Copies of this chain bind each other. A is one copy, B any other.
Amino acid sequence: MSEIIEKFEPLFNPRSITFIGASASPEKWGSIILSHIITGGFRGKVYPINPREKEILGLRTYPDVEALPEPPDLAIFVIPSSQIPSVLEDCARKGIKAGIVITAGFAEVGAEGEKLQQEIVRIARESGMILVGPNCFGIISRPCSLSTTMPPLYPKQGPFAILSQSGNVAVTIAHKLIDKDFGISRLISYGNEADLHCEDYLEYLAEDTETKVILSYVEGFKDGRKFFEIAKKVTRRKPIVMLKVGYTAAGARAARSHTSALAGSDTTFDAACKQTGIIRARSVDEMSDIGVALLNQPLPKGKRVGILTAGGGLGVLAADACAYAGLNVAHLPEDTIGELNALLPPWWNHDNPVDLAAGAFGTDAVKAIEALLRCHSIDGMILLNLIVALPINIGVLFRDDLASGSVPQEKLRAFEDGMGQLFDQLMALVTKYDKPIIIATELESENIDVKAKKMAGQKGLAYYTQPDRAALVFSRLAQYAEYLRNLSPCSPSAP
């Protein structure tokens, strides 16, 4: 076990925890959060601390930390901020190695809080304890089924780590992933980052074998230089997608009153991202959408994108969005045009975007996709209006059932089977040509979109509804690929 993994073991893999501030009143956070730890199915012992109750939520309580039968690995604090220093001293004496301070009322509220915050950092550091927070939701660690978040959140285990200064934003990111049926390895809401900083967690996540992609929300840095030094090492091993706020004066003011963060210059941050391979996102939606594509799609070897559409307008939207995002809507070479001539009706537009022009369906549409992927002038594809490539009779879809709002079950099944087959074909092409396919399509209703999106994700495809989103995602993948290509080949961990 590496030094960094060992340091974080009591936090992310505790054998036992003590919950300081357990409450018997169901409307109090001291009851709600404890109930989430229990419902989440934490795989270790839980010792609630409460001087008045004998039992809370079916667990035996203890009057104080001193009274615990063993030193637990992790202490979670939900008591008022002013009481934390003395209890933290008790924890240190007991030999507890990690703490999560969920309570707010520290540096974010002014000078008094700042003093209190310095005090808890001093106590923790003197005793060799690591501290998450204060002013946070704490963590989720799926391998040991630990969830300390304020809203209930028990995602399945998966490849995404969420590292967020804000608890609510962390939960919002998690919901985006859960809705697409993806799992989470670790979620960290670190709030004021008094002891452990953003870059400490990042160092851990780089070595964490459960984590493949890191999604990070940041309001400000305690030590920007150190953060970027570490980030530069991490992005060689796994991608970091970052949403950094405070890029306007109003946002910076809000960040300061939220987690006492100093947002800093946005231009400097942007330059630092480019130099360290961090992929920047501008919203939570963008972040999760980029993350999903990074997981299973190969990185494009250049910025030349092929667009296949059924319907010219969507093609125009996509061409604009691609060029706007810095991609090259490449002209097609003669041999590719020739291949497409054999598949498409004579009136097709002979250019990229390739418009099937209501004249190629099913197998022919898939063959056109393959012709584009095979093309040496194309580094990857954006695929619009997927419905025409389904390997089932188009009549099943282009008729009255979907429009009438009630699709008979057997047709829905045929549709889903067809969709599944198509996704398998597409992923086989992705693997064969080692080029990404980014889908931007809308089906006949939002509910069917949700279903198709989940299925696509399970098969490894990146699936969105809007052409501009697909273009943005493709461009971020291309930028990250370019960054990795330009890394010094002498570097030991360069790919």
**Binary flags per residue of A333-362, CB closer than 8 Å to B gives 1, else 0:** 000000000000001011101010110000
A251-B358 CB under 8 A given contacts A104-B347, A105-B347:
no
Contact of A357 with B168 in the complex, beta carbons under 8 Å? no
CB-based contact A446/B442 at 8 Å: no
The reply on A329 being an interface residue by CB < 8 A is yes
Closest partner residue, chain B, to A355 (CB atom): B258
**Distance of A167 from chain B, by nearest CB (Å):** 7
Query: Could you tell me the distance in whole angstroms from the C-beta of A412 to the nearest C-beta in chain B?
Result: 16
If A27-B394, A282-B468, A312-B258 touch, does A399 touch B35 (CB 8 Å cutoff)? yes
Asked if A417 lies at the interface with its beta carbon under 8 angstroms from chain B, I say: no
**Given A150-B358, A255-B316: A285 and B109 interface contact (C-beta under 8 Å):** no
Closest to A243 in B: B317
Nearest residue, chain B, Cβ from A219: B316
Cα(A39)–Cα(B105), bound, Å: 63
B residues in contact with A468, CB < 8 Å: 282-283
A322 at the interface (CB under 8 A from B): yes
Tell me if A414 is interfacial: C-beta within 8 Å of chain B: no
Whether, in the assembled complex, A480 has its beta carbon less than 8 Å from a beta carbon of chain B, the answer is no
Q: Fill in one digit per residue for A80-107: 1 if any B CB lies within 8 Å of its CB, else 0.
A: 0000000000000000000000001100
A447 touches B (CB below 8 Å): yes
Q: Interface size bucket, A side?
A: 35 or more
In the complex with contacts A258-B349, A349-B258, A29-B313 CB distance below 8 A: no
**Residue on B nearest A397 in the bound complex, by CB:** B151
Q: Check: A310 CB closer than 8 A to any chain B CB.
A: yes
Is the CB–CB distance between B166 and A257 below 8 Å?
A: no
A residues with CB within 8 A of B: 26-27, 29, 32, 35-36, 39, 104-105, 108-109, 150-154, 164-170, 172, 175, 178-179, 217, 219, 245-251, 253-255, 257-259, 282-285, 310-317, 319-320, 322-324, 329, 347, 349-351, 353, 355, 357-358, 385, 394-395, 398-400, 402-404, 442, 444-447, 450, 466-468
Chain B, Cβ-Cβ closest to A331: B253
Query: In the bound complex, what is the Cα–Cα distance between A158 and B108 (angstroms)?
Result: 49
* Residues A319 and B151 in contact, CB atoms below 8 Å apart: no
**Chain B residues whose CB sits within 8 angstroms of the CB of A395 once the complex forms:** 26-27
Most buried by B among A314, A445, A447: A314
**Is A444 a contact partner of B175 (Cβ separation < 8 A)?**
yes
Identify 19 residue pairs between A and B in the complex whose beta-carbon atoms are under 8 Å apart, listed by A's number.
A35-B400, A104-B347, A150-B358, A151-B398, A151-B403, A153-B403, A175-B442, A175-B446, A219-B313, A245-B320, A248-B323, A251-B316, A251-B320, A258-B312, A258-B313, A258-B316, A283-B317, A283-B467, A284-B466
The chain B residue with its CB closest to the CB of A40 is B403
Q: Are A446 and B319 within 8 A (Cβ)?
A: no
Nearest-Cβ distance from residue A155 to partner chain B, whole angstroms: 9
Residues of B within 8 A of A315 (CB): 254, 258
When the two chains form their complex, are residues A316 and B254 in contact, meaning their CB atoms are under 8 A apart? yes
* Complex contacts, A398 vs chain B, CB 8 Å: 32, 150-152
In the complex, residue of chain B having the shortest beta-carbon distance to the beta carbon of A27:
B395
Question: What chain B residues lie within 8 Å of A39 (beta carbons)?
Answer: 400, 403-404
Task: Given A283-B468, A445-B175, decide whether A254 and B319 contact each other with a Cβ distance below 8 A.
Answer: yes
Q: Flag if B152 contacts A316 (CB, 8 Å).
A: no
